[in-house]
Amino acid sequence: MNISIITVGKLKEKYLKQGIDEYLKRLTAYAKVEIIEIPDEKAPEILSDNEMLQVKAKEGDRILSKIHPDAHVIALAIEGKMKTSEELAERIDNLATYGKSKIVFVIGGSLGLSEEVMKRADEGLSFSKMTFPHQLMRLILVEQVYRAFRIIKGEPYHK
Ligand SMILES: C[S@@+](CC[C@H](N)C(=O)[O-])C[C@H]1O[C@@H](n2cnc3c(N)ncnc32)[C@H](O)[C@@H]1O
C-alpha cells in the first residue's frame, strides 16, 4: 500500500519533526508512506474573504497537481466525518482489499482547503470539532495511520 500525506508549508518545529519521523520509521513495516510538502502561499496576517479564497485556490492547485488520478483521497477537514480508530483501520483495510492501493491524505494550510480540493476528495475526515494547527495535524495523522495498521494486523498497541 502507498500512502501519501500532502501538506502545505515547511515543517518548522523540531519536536514535531522528531515525532513524525518516529512514526514514519515504524510505518515502514506496513506501508510505503511519504510526506509531500507543497509551498504555502505567502500572505499578510489580515486578508479579505476574497484574498483568502485566492490563497486557498493557489495552494489547492498545488495540492491537486500532486494527486494521482487513481488515488483515493481523504481530506482532513473539521466538517468531515468523525471516525473511531477502528473505523479508520477498517477503511484503510477495505481500500486495500478493493484494489485502491494509493491513498492520499490531504492536510490544508493555515486557511484550510479549497473547494476544488474538497470536490476531488473521496471523503472528508474530521479529528474533532476543534481546530488543530496544520503542522500538529501531521503528527496526529501519522500516529493514527500507524495505529490503524497495528489494528489491521491484530498487533498489540491499540487499547
Ligand atoms: C489550521 S487548520 C485550518 C482552519 C480553517 N479555518 C478550516 O476550517 O479549515 C489547517 C488544516 O488542518 C487540518 N485540521 C485542523 N483541525 C482539524 C480537525 N479537527 N479535523 C480534521 N482536520 C483538521 C485541516 O486539514 C485544515 O485544513
| Ligand 1 atom with minimal separation from the 127 CA | 20
The pLDDT, as a whole number, for residue 101 is 86
The total of structural domains in the chain comes to: 1
Domain that holds residue 98: 2-41+52-152
C-alpha separations of 5 from 44, 50, 75 in Å: 26, 28, 10
- Beta-carbon-side half-sphere exposure of residue 153 (alpha carbons within 13 Å): 13
Stretch 30-58: mean pLDDT, rounded?
94
- Domain-located, residue 146: yes
| Ligand 1 contact, 2 CB (< 6 A) | no
Question: Could you tell me the CATH number of the domain that includes residue 71?
Answer: 3.40.1280.10
Nearest-5° Cα angle at 151, 157 to 138? 80
- Domain-located, residue 46: no
pLDDT at position 154 over 90:
yes
- Cβ neighbour number for residue 139 with a 10 Å cutoff: 20
Portion of the chain with pLDDT greater than 90, in percent = 89
Is 149 assigned to a binding site? no
| Ligand 1 contact, 5 CB (< 6 A) | no
| Ligand 1 contact, 107 CB (< 6 A) | yes
Q: Which of 131, 143, 145 to mutate to test the pocket of ligand 1 (most atoms within 8 A of CB)?
A: 131
| Ligand 1 contact, 78 CB (< 6 A) | yes
CA of 131 to the centre of ligand 1 (A): 6
Q: pTM of the full predicted structure?
A: 0.96
- Domain-located, residue 159: no
- Domain-located, residue 65: yes
List pLDDT tens digits, range 90-137.
999 999 988 888 999 999 999 999 999 999 999 999 999 999 999 999
- Domain-located, residue 158: no
The pLDDT, as a whole number, for residue 95 is 94
The pLDDT, as a whole number, for residue 91 is 97
The pLDDT, as a whole number, for residue 44 is 85
Predicted-complex ipTM score? 0.98
- Domain-located, residue 47: no
Confidence of residue 36 (pLDDT cuts 50, 70, 90): very high
